[in-house]
Structure 1
Amino acid sequence: MSEYNENQELNEEVGSTQENGEMTMDDMLNAYPPLEVGDTVQAEVLAIEDNQAIVGIKGRGVEGVIPYKELSAKPFDEVTEILNVGDVVEVVVIKQIKDKENGSFLLSKRRIDAKVVWKDIQEKFENNEYIEAPVKDVVKGGLVVDVGVRGFVPASMVEEYFVEDFSDYKGKTMKFKIIELEPSENRLILSHKAVAMADKAAMSEERMATLVEGDTVEGTVARLTNFGAFVDLGGVDGLVHISQIAHEHVATPGDVLTIGEKVNVKILSVDQEKGRVSLSIKDTLPGPWETIADKAPVDSVHKGTVKRLTSFGAFVEVFPGVEGLVHISQISHQHIATPHEMLQEGQEIEVKVLDVKPEEHRLSLSIKALQEKGNDVPVEEDYTDSYQADNEDDSSFTLGDVLGDKLKELQDNE
Structure 2
Amino acid sequence: MYNKEKNKGEREKEMNEEKALVLIESEEKQEPEAGAVHPMATLLKESGGVESLQRGQILEGTIVYSSPSEILIDVGAKSEGIVGRREMSRLDADFLSELNVGDSILTYVLVPEDKNGNIILSLTRAQIEKDWRKAERLFKDQEIFESTVAGYNKGGLIARLGQVRGFVPASQIVTRKNEDLSSEEFKAQLVGETLQLKIIELDRSRNRLILSERAAVRDWRRQQKEKLLDDLHEGAVRTGIVSSLCDFGAFVDLGDADGLVHLSEISWRRVKHPSQVLKVGQEVEVYILKVDRERKRIGLSLKRLEPDPWTLVDDLYELDQLVEGTITKLLKFGAFARLQGSDIEGLIHISELSQEHITHPKEVVQEGQVLTLRIIKIESDRRRMGLSLKRVDSAEYIEQDWTSGYIEEEEAAPPQDEAIDSDSPEAPEETIEVEAASEEETIEQEAAPPQDEAIDSDSPKAPEETIKVEEASE
Q: Does residue 305 of structure 1 match 2:327?
A: yes
Q: 1:91 to 1:71 in 2, by over 3 A?
A: farther
User: Cα distance, 1:8 vs. partner?
Assistant: 5.2
Name the structure 2 match of 1:268.
289
User: Cα distance, 1:230 vs. partner?
Assistant: 0.8
Task: Measure, in 2, the Cα distance between the counterparts of 1:33 and 1:290.
Answer: 89
Q: 2:392 aligns with which of 360, 365, 369?
A: 369
Q: 1:322 aligns with which of 320, 336, 344?
A: 344
Name the structure 1 match of 2:154.
140
Q: 1:264 to 1:338 in 2, by over 3 A?
A: same
Q: Does residue 155 of structure 1 match 2:170?
A: yes
Task: Tell me the secondary structure at the aligned position of residue 171 of structure 2.
Answer: helix
Unaligned stretches of 5+ in structure 1?
11-31, 54-63, 84-88, 94-107, 374-414
Structural mapping, 1:332-411, within 5 Å = 335-338=355-358, 340=360, 343-346=364-367, 348=369, 350-354=371-375, 357=378, 359-360=380-381, 361-370=384-393
Task: Measure, in 2, the Cα distance between the counterparts of 1:299 and 1:187.
Answer: 79
Q: Does residue 187 of structure 1 match 2:218?
A: no
User: Cα distance, 1:229 vs. partner?
Assistant: 0.7
CA contact (8 A) 1:309 1:345 kept: no
Q: Report the identity percentage.
A: 32
**More helix as a share of residues:** 2
CA contact (8 A) 1:134 1:172 kept: yes
User: Cα distance, 1:202 vs. partner?
Assistant: 1.9
Q: 1:237 aligns with which of 254, 258, 269?
A: 258
Q: 1:179 to 1:257 in 2, by over 3 A?
A: same
The root-mean-square deviation of aligned C-alpha atoms, in Å, is: 4.8
Task: Measure, in 2, the Cα distance between the counterparts of 1:112 and 1:280.
Answer: 56
User: Cα distance, 1:205 vs. partner?
Assistant: 0.9
Name the structure 1 match of 2:420.
none
CA contact (8 A) 1:220 1:231 kept: yes
Task: Measure, in 1, the Cα distance between the counterparts of 2:236 and 2:169.
Answer: 42
Name the structure 2 match of 1:284.
305
Task: Measure, in 1, the Cα distance between the counterparts of 2:387 and 2:312.
Answer: 16
Task: Tell me the secondary structure at the aligned position of residue 238 of structure 1.
Answer: strand
CA contact (8 A) 2:269 2:345 kept: no
Q: 1:285 to 1:166 in 2, by over 3 A?
A: farther
Q: 1:138 to 1:343 in 2, by over 3 A?
A: same
Structural mapping, 1:13-24, within 5 Å = none
Q: 2:90 aligns with which of 45, 59, 71?
A: 71
Task: Tell me the secondary structure at the aligned position of residue 200 of structure 1.
Answer: helix
Task: Tell me the secondary structure at the aligned position of residue 209 of structure 1.
Answer: helix
User: Cα distance, 1:349 vs. partner?
Assistant: 5.3
Q: Count the aligned residue pairs.
A: 312
Q: Which has the higher contact order (CA 8 A, sep 6+)?
A: 1
Task: Measure, in 2, the Cα distance between the counterparts of 1:205 and 1:269.
Answer: 15
Q: 1:351 to 1:219 in 2, by over 3 A?
A: same
The one-letter code of the counterpart of 2:250 is: A
Name the structure 2 match of 1:5.
5
The one-letter code of the counterpart of 2:337 is: V
Q: 1:323 to 1:367 in 2, by over 3 A?
A: farther
Task: Measure, in 2, the Cα distance between the counterparts of 1:47 and 1:3.
Answer: 19
CA contact (8 A) 1:90 1:112 kept: yes
Name the structure 2 match of 1:382.
none
TM-score (norm 2): 0.51
CA contact (8 A) 1:212 1:267 kept: yes
Structural mapping, 1:88-127, within 5 Å = 113-126=127-140
CA contact (8 A) 1:270 1:278 kept: yes
Task: Tell me the secondary structure at the aligned position of residue 369 of structure 1.
Answer: coil
Name the structure 2 match of 1:206.
227
CA contact (8 A) 2:327 2:369 kept: yes
Q: 2:23 aligns with which of 30, 33, 38?
A: 38
The one-letter code of the counterpart of 2:226 is: E
Task: Measure, in 2, the Cα distance between the counterparts of 1:122 and 1:328.
Answer: 72
CA contact (8 A) 1:200 1:235 kept: yes
Largest Rg, 1 or 2: 2
Task: Measure, in 1, the Cα distance between the counterparts of 2:312 and 2:260.
Answer: 29
User: Cα distance, 1:351 vs. partner?
Assistant: 2.0
Q: 1:153 to 1:326 in 2, by over 3 A?
A: closer
CA contact (8 A) 1:92 1:112 kept: no
Task: Measure, in 2, the Cα distance between the counterparts of 1:159 and 1:197.
Answer: 10
